[in-house]
Chains A and B, each alone.
Chain A
Amino acid sequence: MYSSQNRSSSDANPPQTGELYTRKLEQRAYYALEQGYLTNARYLFEEIVQRNPRNVRAWRALIDLWENVDERVTACRRVLDLEPFDDAVRATLETLERQQEHTLQQKQRWVQVQTARAQALLREGKTEDARCLLQTITKTYPHHAAAWWLLAEQSDDDIEQRIHALREAVRCQPDNRTFQTVLTRWEYLRDHPEELVAMYEADGRWEQALRFQHAFTLQSRSLLEWERRRRDVLRLENLRQAAPPHISRLSEIARLTLWPLFPYLLLFWLIDRLSLLALALDPFFLGSVVLALLGGFLLAVLEMRADDILWRRWPLGGDHTAYRRMRIVVGILGRIAIGLPLVLWLFDALF
């Protein structure tokens, strides 16, 4: 009540300054303290230290008035800065610091227990409960990287929330390379929604793919673009209805790695007069096979989109545009590796 009166008066008149006003404030604060109006007293002492941070009496009063241990420690430290030989405050500070450490340990233990609980919920498939719990953990204790990490993993529907959680995880553990890389990857996917849609489509997660494709369609800059993206929405809706089976990444990579082998196998087999033995002993053939397989593998990796496990492990530092560059480089290398034996062979055969 006192505080609101004080505020309304200060709103009506220009703020008062000077030693006299501070003294007046101090008198009011002590009066409030004596009368037991602790909240008002705290507001007044806070205003005093704001006006004069060297007012040791106000800081000393705040040690008892503040409820939060961290704030009380701050007040003690301020008093000791101004009066280093105040043994009573030093003793209080030591007690408070012990208390602070104890609280911190308790909090950490709580966070660990709750995180384990969230993990257990995730294992049971109770994703929504786990997400709520993780949000509570991160709100209570925002320095727990593992909780932020788990929260990021569960933010399938909201890419911004995922990126926020990952940024927090990176803030908690700036040296963690995995956090950095995953954050970079998701920032890249946020900026390239078509890749995000393709990734969900490849995983057979039609709902997510559709949601992002809808959002992507709404961002179209021309009618032509809108029509093109709308066609993709229809295509995804058809796919969702048909619910095609998921084909494992491993078999897809194997299939996409093998295709360059067939033309080379036939070509060299014909050159070696359809003799398997001659083919097996031909070093140029063997080199070509290795190159063709390598090229096929690189192009397969390229097809697997940015979220594939192979891309996740690619060391790209903090630059998320590096993905695009790296994909271009991989594409060029793959095509060179596949085409080079044919070009060399043609050159040899012609000249």
Chain B
Amino acid sequence: MSAPRHAPGTALVLVGTTKGGFILSSDESREHWTLDGPHFPGEAVYAVAYDERGGRTRTLMAAQSNHWGTTIRISDDHGATWSGHDRQAIRFPESSGLSLAQIWQITPGYADEPDVVWCGVEPAALFKSMDAGESWTPVEGLLHHEHRPRWMPGGGGLCLHTIVRDPANRDRMGIAISTAGFYRTDDGGATWQARNAGVRAVFLPNQYPEFGQCVHKVVSHTARPERLFLQNHWGLYRSDDWGDSWRDIANGVPSDFGFAMQMHPHDPDTVYIVPIQSDAFRVVAESKLRVYRTRNAGASWEPLTEGLPQQDAYENVLRDALTADTHSPAGIYFGTRGGKVFASASAGESWREIADALPSVCCVKSAVVGAGCA
């Protein structure tokens, strides 16, 4: 294992793009950033993660070659060298008839289970690794779900893009699939129930089906695991009962269409989103690049604009391209389809561009070295 390259306290911003992965780093001030990359040039990186459990400093990137398929790559020295799999370790069983198209989400497990990692993929399935990402097996209860034949792919494919856990109940987990909706297990993945009551599907004749919603992102805070926030394909929602019911919280946003959603790392009432004009015109609402923040769990939202272009902005921010670090005040980061990365070292009060000409940004994750995963 090579030595890590960054000192404790370093803020890392991992950026996946359509043409490779990048790693931005800064000291705690988060004023001056260094760009490292591209890693896996020419390959699309739709999922990244940083994992410090078990004494590791492990970066994971899912690199998709247009020709040769998708592989998770691993670095234990902040991208100086990459090891990992010559074999393509995430594989559907032959009996499923499915083939891996894309990896959409990599989520490390709990701190006291340092070798557990979860992965959401397309076609929609959840994989689990018990050896820190070296080998993977599908979660059978979801793979064989009775709803699967009726799940429909969204614009990005039939992808499982979101994994939500419950530290108060290890057997409980939520996942979101476009276009199938939000599902929850209460028995460690053996069975899964659709939990979409109150979430609208504007594109279906029955707008409140049991499943079939196009959920774009779900977030929660470890301090309030029963409370979920959901950015839908039209609609902003909150659940106070782990998805049993949802209610609209689009109070004062210019559009309730959007993709990205991020929890504040230290405040369970604070959530960030980026409103998008519409499904037909997927650019920021009113051509102003604004992050909206609620600090009262969705009762009201405020625009965060300082340092962001407020006219002629035609950017989009994808579902995993908005993130936070664990410093205080929290760093908030997002990347755009236009290849820009913006950072706030003040929990969103002001912003600055820290990368301006990257390939189209697919995902952004952040971490603080020595502090665990954001």
Chain A bound to chain B:
no
Residues of B within 8 A of A (CB): none
